[in-house]
Structure 1
Amino acid sequence: MVPLDSAEAQALRQHPRLRQSAEEIAEQRALQRGSFSPANPDFLFSAPTGEQWAPGVVQTIDFPTVYRRQSRVARAGVALAERGLAVNRATVRRDVRLAYLSLQFAEAQLRQLAYQDSLFQTLQTATERLFTAGEVTSLQRISTAAEARQVRNQLDQTRVDLGAAQRRLGLLLGLPAGADLASEADLRRTGPTLARTGTELLGTLPLADSAAVAASPALAYAAQNVTLSQSGISLVRARRTPALTVGYQNQAFDNSALRYRFQFGVSVPIYFWTYRAQLQAATARGNAAQAQLQVQRLDLGSQYQQALADTRKFSTALGYYEQTGLAQSAAIISQSQRLFRAGEISYLVLIQSLNQAFTIQNAYLATIRDFRQAIVELNYLRGQ
């Protein structure tokens, strides 16, 4: 059996999405170390006297503002990669929780259908005996066989669903295909606890989606992308300033007392259209990042409202099943069998009663699953 906490921890260690994020952070940190990047020096050969070639060097250095802006952009890139890691961690955690829930649901459904199958197989055997004795009709015999076969078919399908759920969870945990995984807790037994904790959660959730999703990693990633784009605009503006040129070359005749001399100059950004185009592009990226942040905020708010509505809806449904539905289904199963054996109800009434009771129990399992899915989505949107 695999506990949910252990499954989450193992997935966070093994999932390639997180290894990718770690490499992206390493890349951005390496770029940050190279943010002070002056232009390559020019090594020149010149003949100042017209008689022989002499080596020299010229170095262009940007104003310090440029290097400070480059460092700021690099830091923003590192922060963006770290926000991406947080998004991926939250996504992996949500995927594991949903996969684990699918495994629990398949296991609970398998147990439920196994019970139904056992009951209908017993009923089919009794019907065959009654048909031989001439106490039931051929239609009743065929109907019983059809109901039993239908339950057996659902049981076979659920076994396939269980295998698929095991493979999905195994992939997230980095386990080989065919791993025989089992959940730690029976989904049906979590119903009472879920009803209580779900009600408590609904009492603490903020109604305003802007406050609820403020800690969302996806929202933090979009906000950091805006910061990065704004740093890019500042860097483009800084590069429009002149740069300093320093050289050391031979500038004299052979008989001169000091042949090598320093030279100083200024690199003037006269190709204004290039810088203007770069600034327009950086501004457009900044506007796009701002729009993406607004889109992300709207999407998260819409998803939060939907998850909140689902949580309330399934909380009400689960309360009904816990207080009334399950007790009624158990009473229907026991009383219908007792009345049928006493001859007080017909065979058709017995089948209808059993199907009604099992429909309630299957709906109860589906409600627990849907309720927990809504809570997982709420926690994901809230950054938990």
Structure 2
Amino acid sequence: MNYWKGIFLGIVISIPGLGFAQSNLDAVLNSIAQNNKAIAANKQYWEARKLAFRTGLTPENPEMVYDYMRGRPASAGNQEDFAVTQTFDFPTAYAKKKALSKEQIAQTEFQAAAFRQDILLEAKLSYLEMVYLNKQKAILARRLKTSESLHNDFQKKFKQGFANILEVNKAKIQLANLQNELRRNESQLKLNSEKLTQLNGGSAIVVSDTLYPTLAQIPVYEKMDSLVEVNDPILKTVKQQKEISIKEKEVTKALTLPKPGIGYHSQAILGQKFNGARIGVTIPLWQDKNKVKQKEAEILYSELQIHNHRTEHLHEIKALYDQYESLRLGLTDYQSLMQAVHSDVLLAKALRLGEISTTEYFMELTYFYNSYDNYLALEKEYNQVIAELYKFAL
């Protein structure tokens, strides 16, 4: 029993990805954050929106009017009118507009962060897929080498009369299967490499890692949920929208107050000239009717949106955390299971020594390959689920 444990430990140590390594993940994500065209375009969009939110905080443009009217008959003389008028919102409106602008600009940061995180999570998942495919490629290459050697041995034995055609065909089928698996693997590597290149703005990214990034200690669910919620830019965006709606209501109220206007008016007629100050007021009786009620309804909508997002967030994080727990237990189970599975090297040795039949060899080898392939897939899913849980940190 100790002998097999020693063999298993040797196999585990030789398996890529079961140790710790300095990963290139950070360098890949930093490059994509700088070069991704969608992130750059989104950033520029929000910069434009910030400028829009800073617009309209000052009084309206002054109005200048000049009238020249020719009199008839000619003895009636001509008339000239000139007026300059400046209209103001009610004084408190400007402070409230500025406060609204500040809240709107703050929200753009959360929206930009959410967009950036979506792109970087996509890149991170693709990177982890590349690590998985690199590990798989190394394993398939080793299996193919073993299968080629076995196939040659069976062909020699068949010519010498020590093997039958069924054994040769089994070796041939296994060889063909492994060749096809390796081709599929290389195709998937190419697709993922192209995807990372596209995310990197067209600049090629080479990922040769066969070790996953070292994982931090995952806290218990309650702490994990709180950690995600505090840093969730989507929730921050929704909460900020409520603040914006409140400020918009305050601005709307201020705009329903009378608007004073001052100016200068000059009039010339029949050789006489008159000039002086012009004072007026705009009384908002009908134009802004129901606008305050509209903003109150929008505040209520924002509150419902916050509640809805929290509910969705709770179930989403719970589902991811449950998946993480399930995958973690599955990995532990597979590691225990693999202790009872002989490696292809040991099986090949047993076959050469006549300790097992050809049929037993291929059955045990298939069992070992399937178990290890499932382990690799489980390990990838485990790392990807943790990446989704820590999306907020990107």
TM-score class, shorter-chain normalisation, is 0.7 to 0.9
Deviation at 1:355? 0.9
- The separation in 2 between residues aligned to 1:108 and 1:9, in whole angstroms, is 24
Deviations 1:70-93 (A, max 9, x none): 212211221111111221232233
Unaligned regions of 5+ residues in structure 1, if any? none
Alignment of 1:45-60 (within 5 A): 45=66, 51-60=78-87
Unaligned regions of 5+ residues in structure 2, if any? 1-21, 70-75
Deviation at 1:207? 5.5
TM-score (normalizing by structure 2): 0.84
- The separation in 1 between residues aligned to 2:121 and 2:41, in whole angstroms, is 18
CA contact 1:58–1:245 (8 Å) conserved in 2: yes
- The separation in 2 between residues aligned to 1:7 and 1:182, in whole angstroms, is 9
CA contact 1:333–1:357 (8 Å) conserved in 2: yes
- The separation in 2 between residues aligned to 1:32 and 1:210, in whole angstroms, is 32
Question: Which of 360, 365, 372 is the equivalent residue of 1:361?
Answer: 372
- The separation in 2 between residues aligned to 1:238 and 1:219, in whole angstroms, is 29
Which residue in the other structure is 1:221 paired with?
237
CA contact 2:80–2:269 (8 Å) conserved in 1: no
CA contact 1:202–1:312 (8 Å) conserved in 2: no
CA contact 2:140–2:182 (8 Å) conserved in 1: yes
- The separation in 1 between residues aligned to 2:197 and 2:269, in whole angstroms, is 80
Question: Which of 274, 280, 288 is the equivalent residue of 1:265?
Answer: 280
TM-score (normalizing by structure 1): 0.86
Q: Secondary structure at the match of 1:213?
A: helix
2:10 is equivalent to residue 10 of structure 1? no
Sequence identity (%): 20
- The separation in 1 between residues aligned to 2:181 and 2:164, in whole angstroms, is 26
Q: Secondary structure at the match of 1:23?
A: helix
Which residue in the other structure is 1:38 paired with?
59
- The separation in 2 between residues aligned to 1:2 and 1:346, in whole angstroms, is 43
- The separation in 2 between residues aligned to 1:349 and 1:237, in whole angstroms, is 84
- The separation in 2 between residues aligned to 1:50 and 1:56, in whole angstroms, is 20
Which residue in the other structure is 2:321 paired with?
308
Q: Which amino acid aligns with 2:31?
A: Q
2:210 is equivalent to residue 186 of structure 1? yes
- The separation in 2 between residues aligned to 1:5 and 1:133, in whole angstroms, is 57
- The separation in 2 between residues aligned to 1:313 and 1:2, in whole angstroms, is 25
Give the paired residue count: 367
Deviation at 1:165? 1.2
Q: Which amino acid aligns with 1:375?
A: I
- The separation in 2 between residues aligned to 1:379 and 1:144, in whole angstroms, is 45
Q: Which amino acid aligns with 1:349?
A: E
Deviations 1:325-354 (A, max 9, x none): 44433x343442232212232111100111
Moved over 4 A (4+): 46-51, 251-256
- The separation in 2 between residues aligned to 1:158 and 1:83, in whole angstroms, is 39
2:383 is equivalent to residue 372 of structure 1? yes
